[in-house]
Amino acid sequence: MVTRIDHLTVYDGRGGKEQEASLLFDESGILATGRGVREAEAETVIDGTGLACTPGWVQSHSHIALDGLPNMQAQIARDNTESAVMASAARNCLRCLKSGVVAVRDMGTAFDVSIRLRDVINEGRLLGPRIYAPGRVICMTGGHGADFGIEADGPHEARKAARGQIKRGADLIKIMATGGGQSRGMKAGVPQLNFEEIRAIAEEAQHAGVPTAAHAQGKEGVMNCLRAGVESIEHGVTLDEEQIELMVKQGTFFCPTMAGLWYVIQKGVAAGIPPYVVEKCKRQAETHFSGFEKAYRAGVRILAGTDAGIPFTYQDDLATEFVLMRQHGMPVREIITAATYTPAQALGVDQKTGSIEAGKWADLTLMEGDPEEDLEAFRRVRMVYKGGQLVYSSEKGRDWFLPVL
């Protein structure tokens, strides 16, 4: 069905902005955009006065099966079956759509659930965003993520784990290079999987054409990943000139997940977050926000992601990451790029999506107001299209539109 929306403010995802624009699209993709499109024939015509439109947002760091409960480890322990994990993931998919997120770069789920979730959504059996799935993370024995990941020690096991995830259909490989803030009984910034192990995983992923992303907090772990050719650094936390220089040189992506850290510190122990988590996050905050500012100014390719699923970082709240990015020096148009075009590049799908251009998928997020004038517009999502189909509207009096089977 051909849809035309008129009188829109269109952010194209690559730094461009046009007011009073029209957008023409159907299930095959975006057909045309710009002021000249207003006369084009369409079955549905919508007056977009007062609305701004961007390419559909990509949440670049989510654990789609986790709900943001105060004690994340307790949810992982409770959801110890595949069906329990899938139930949370399915519900969170709806939350994503409602908040403008049309694609999720999952960063690890138990039982490889994100891979199956992707498939049932693509088959039209479940309403949800596009899922880019690593399935389980790869970590060292007893390391960060060991309670829901694959434990691998030595380059041989690490290589086998990577090959296994590729065989299971992973879209990307998630590597745990250091300890983390959420795990009990370990320092956050210490190296875990070592250089040889990370390199073995990265090699296999490169051979298969699958991108790699590494949880890396602390310099040694980040440098191990960069030298091994990992394509994206998640968190970072203690970025300095040396790390940033190498990231710029190699074109490494960086997903700072500032919202996750910010929420843990804001809510604290009083809200039920375990004290060891709060303490580690407070320490990380001393260097993390300034590290992000340096990385952004140096030209590192930034991805917008929150670490959705950790305490109080809900799946429908990518907007808080946008607000923090703005507070730490990023202009609104670059924030939009970090949530659209740059993640499409990181996922290797920028030829098909990530910007508003004729021929690309009609994945669109429409919000009330102009975010360049009012940042809160990012929280007022009014319509969401995925593949040219309306998957959420705040205006119809009902929230959900099930896809036609």
Q: Residue 37 interacts with Zn ion (CB under 5 A)?
A: no
Which residue among 5, 10, 102, 107 contacts Zn ion (CB under 5 A)? Answer: 107
Q: How far is the CB of 386 from Zn ion (least distance, A)?
A: 24
Distance from C-alpha of 9 to C-alpha of 22, rounded to nearest angstrom: 9
Q: 135-144 burial, b for 16+ CB within 10 Å, e for fewer?
A: bbbbbbeebb
CA-to-CA dists, residue 226 to 95, 110, 202, 374, angstroms: 34, 26, 10, 37
Q: Residue 176 interacts with Zn ion (CB under 5 A)?
A: no
365: left (phi over 0), alpha (psi -120 to 50) or beta: beta
Q: Are 114 and 86 in contact (CB under 8 A)?
A: no
Binding mask 296-325 for Zn ion (x = CB under 5 A): -----------x------------------
Q: Of 307 and 350, which has the nearer Cβ to Zn ion?
A: 307
Distance from C-alpha of 326 to C-alpha of 348, rounded to nearest angstrom: 26
Binding mask 188-207 for Zn ion (x = CB under 5 A): --------------------
Q: How far is the CB of 355 from Zn ion (least distance, A)?
A: 26
Q: Of 24 and 104, which has the nearer Cβ to Zn ion?
A: 104
Q: Which two tokens stand for residue 290?
A: 């300034």
Q: Are 177 and 198 in contact (CB under 8 A)?
A: yes
Q: How far is the CB of 192 from Zn ion (least distance, A)?
A: 14
Q: Residue 366 interacts with Zn ion (CB under 5 A)?
A: no
Distance from C-alpha of 129 to C-alpha of 104, rounded to nearest angstrom: 7
Q: How far is the CB of 260 from Zn ion (least distance, A)?
A: 7
Q: Residue 24 interacts with Zn ion (CB under 5 A)?
A: no
CA-to-CA dists, residue 331 to 220, 259, 382, 383, angstroms: 31, 17, 23, 24
Q: Which stretch binds Zn ion (CB under 5 A): 18-26, 107-115, 245-253, 316-324?
A: 107-115
Q: Residue 106 interacts with Zn ion (CB under 5 A)?
A: no
Q: How far is the CB of 63 from Zn ion (least distance, A)?
A: 6
Q: Which stretch binds Zn ion (CB under 5 A): 105-113, 143-151, 197-205, 358-366?
A: 105-113
Which positions touch Zn ion (CB under 5 A)? 107, 307
